[in-house]
């Protein structure tokens, strides 16, 4: 199946997909300071995935991968890895030297996608973003 990944500033379709992927989030995630990507099926144009990244104001050399989601029936096609790479290219074009994110220790699929893309787990407190219970912080150098 062919997929299209493109940047977007239209958050309406993204929020509808977010509610399908994460049916019970604490609150909808609508970071307007971030850059968003949408994944659509080439043949139908339906949105089936999304991702978000932002450059940290306090650490302008660091890109933070925030939210990612892929509709269940489209998982297993490498979309999360493609979304990671798209955000890394965006970060590198903005002179970022590292990419950081956190992932639930129970989210094996996301953790494996990040590891496959070269991310390494950080020691607690190593990155300086604080710690979230039940989450792992991972990073990748872009240099």
Domains of the chain with bracketed CATH: 3-141 (3.40.630.30)
Residue-wise pLDDT for 95-137, tens only, equals 999 999 989 888 899 999 999 999 998 876 666 555 677 888 8
Report, as an integer, the average pLDDT of 17-35. Answer: 70
Average pLDDT, the chain: 86
Decide: residue 58, CB within 10 A, 0-12 exposed, 13-18 middle, 19+ buried: exposed
Cα–Cα distance, 67 to 53 (Å, whole number): 7
Residue pair 5/15 in contact by the 8 Å Cβ criterion:
no
> What is the per-residue pLDDT for 17?
80
pLDDT at 28 > cutoff 60: no
The pLDDT score that the predictor gives to residue 21 is 75
Instruction: Name the pTM for this structure.
Output: 0.87
pLDDT for residue 80: 95
16 confidence band (pLDDT: 50, 70, 90): confident
8 Å CB contact between 105 and 136? yes
Confidence (pLDDT) at 22 = 72
**Residue 10 DSSP SS3:** coil
What Cα–Cα distance (Å) separates residue 23 from each residue in 27, 81, 84, 112? 10, 23, 23, 23
Pairing of strands 120-121, 35-41: unpaired
């Amino acid at each position: 199946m062919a997929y299209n990944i493109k940047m977007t500033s239209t958050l309406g379709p993204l929020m509808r997909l977010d509610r399908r992927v994460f049916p019970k989030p604490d609150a909808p995630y609508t970071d307007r300071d971030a850059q968003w990507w949408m994944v659509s099926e080439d043949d139908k144009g339906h949105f089936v995935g999304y991702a978000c990244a932002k450059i940290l104001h306090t650490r302008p050399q660091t890109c933070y991968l925030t939210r990612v989601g892929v509709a269940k029936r489209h998982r297993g096609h490498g979309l999360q890895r493609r979304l990671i790479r798209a955000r890394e290219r965006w970060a590198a074009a903005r002179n970022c030297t590292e990419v950081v994110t956190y992932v639930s220790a129970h989210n094996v699929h996301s953790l494996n996608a990040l590891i496959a893309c070269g991310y390494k787990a950080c020691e607690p407190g190593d990155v300086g973003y604080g710690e979230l219970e039940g989450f792992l912080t991972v990073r990748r150098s872009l240099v």
